[in-house]
């Protein structure tokens, strides 16, 4: 089954006019500079594809994302969390009222955040890591200068 049949339309076949807003979506080039995993990129791209372009939001379940991308639900959950950590999206729980009047957990509502936020967060983390490395290097130089053995913290030794 091709994409056009799957989505219940004839697609871009024949002499149809190409409607950029309907058949295409923008993917920011800067996303490739953030060091994202291939799954993070795929999930982010899918969320961009289905978002409401007026609200920057979409509501979709983990199983739907997993099915569309051909990956497991656990993988989706893991990398959605990482996308949140990178500052690319936020998630919000939704509720569903059943026919019986019971309130149940619904799908997550995803909000796509401005890419500038993620870039700024990435640069802040890079700068922080550089400052930590510089501090560690200075401490090591002082220790060597005074003839003391330099022992990094437990966290640095296990890395």
Around 14, how many Cα atoms within 13 Å sit in the side-chain half-sphere? 5
Q: What is the pLDDT of residue 5?
A: 42
Beta bridge partners of 95: 105
Q: Which helix (H) or strand (E) holds 16?
A: none
Q: What is the pLDDT of residue 72?
A: 97
Assign residue 85 a region: left if phi > 0, alpha if psi is -120 to 50, beta otherwise? alpha
Cα(43)–Cα(50) distance, integer angstroms: 11
Cα(46)–Cα(40) distance, integer angstroms: 10
Cα(80)–Cα(150) distance, integer angstroms: 40
Question: Which phi and psi angles does 59 have, rounded to 5°?
Answer: -120, 120
**Which pLDDT tens digits describe the chain residue by residue (159 residues)?**
444 444 445 555 554 566 666 778 888 899 999 999 999 999 999 999 999 989 999 999 999 999 999 999 999 999 999 999 999 999 999 988 889 988 888 899 999 999 999 999 999 999 999 999 998 888 888 888 887 777 776 665 544
The count of other CB atoms within 10 Å of the CB of residue 143 is: 13
* Listed residue (123, 118, 49) closest to 87, CA to CA: 118
Rounded to a whole number, what is the distance in angstroms from the first to the last CA of the chain?
47
pTM tops 0.75, yes or no: no
Q: What is the pLDDT of residue 3?
A: 45
Cα(23)–Cα(7) distance, integer angstroms: 11
């Amino acid at each position: 089954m091709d994409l056009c049949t799957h989505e219940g339309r004839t697609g871009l076949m024949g002499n149809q006019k190409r409607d950029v807003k309907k058949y295409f979506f923008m993917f920011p080039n800067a996303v490739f500079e953030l060091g994202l995993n291939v799954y993070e990129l795929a999930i982010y791209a899918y969320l961009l594809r289905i978002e409401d372009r007026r609200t920057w939001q979409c509501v979709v379940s983990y199983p739907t994302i997993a099915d569309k991308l051909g990956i497991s639900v656990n993988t989706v959950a893991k990398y959605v969390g990482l996308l949140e950590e990178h500052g690319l999206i936020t998630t919000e729980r939704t509720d569903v009222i059943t026919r019986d009047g019971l309130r149940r957990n619904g799908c997550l509502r995803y909000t796509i955040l401005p890419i500038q936020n993620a870039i700024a967060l990435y640069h802040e983390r890079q700068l922080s890591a550089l400052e930590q490395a510089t501090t560690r290097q200075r401490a090591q130089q002082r220790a060597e200068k005074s003839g003391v053995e330099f022992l990094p913290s437990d966290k640095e030794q296990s890395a």
